[in-house]
Amino acid sequence: MNHQTDDDSDFSRAGDDMADDLETHSHVPTSSEIRFDSLPDREGAVHAIVAATRALGNSNGVLVNVPAASDTVPDLKRDAGFRYTDQYQPFIDALHNGEAVTIVIVQKDGDVIAFGLGEVPSKHGVEIMTTDVEEASRRSAGVKSSIDISNEPFEIGIGHVLVLGLIESIDASVLHTNATSPQARYIFKSLGFVSSDEDNSCLLRLQKK
């Protein structure tokens, strides 16, 4: 599974982009994940992030689409800087073949600027497999907003818009993901995911209400 959001650009099992938020060292700031985990009112913080995510999507004029099996799914721009283009078409094929996968695309001016892929449901729920944001639409490129919660600043980006779209579109009460970077875990946790394994902090779970 791959989650792409380096700041927005890499929230993935690969977890290889370390852009805006870094793990704690003597010379770098505390990661957004750690600061979010330390907030006194987690539920209130999630509500605030969700509201800020919707506002960011509206202010940036983006459209979140969830194609059905009979829909034509737009191609990705070759020069957009997506990292997981190889996974996009196989999921489209699975969707068109009637498999119960979920594809969420975020578009601006008709172009796909982010996409997310949800696996076929199992008895344990649905796993969010891959999320990817084009280079020009990442937080590191300046596409972001910020919010203060309990006097702590947090950034919101297109990665948040994408993950919120997946949460709201996947037809399952339980969602899982495997986020191996602090950037990834921050985005998912700030939208309501919690740790599901005390021995593996990368495994996150959301029980939809």
**3 state DSSP class of 186:** helix
**3 state DSSP class of 54:** helix
Amino acid at 137: S
Give residue-wise pLDDT tens across range 115-159: 999 999 998 899 999 999 999 999 999 999 999 999 999 999 999
Give residue-wise pLDDT tens across range 45-64: 999 999 999 999 999 999 99
Range list of H helices, 85-148: 85-96
Query: How many angstroms separate the CA atoms of 62 and 57, rounded?
Result: 5
pTM: 0.88
Long-range CB contacts for residues 22-29, cutoff 8 Å, separation at least 24? 22/182, 23/182
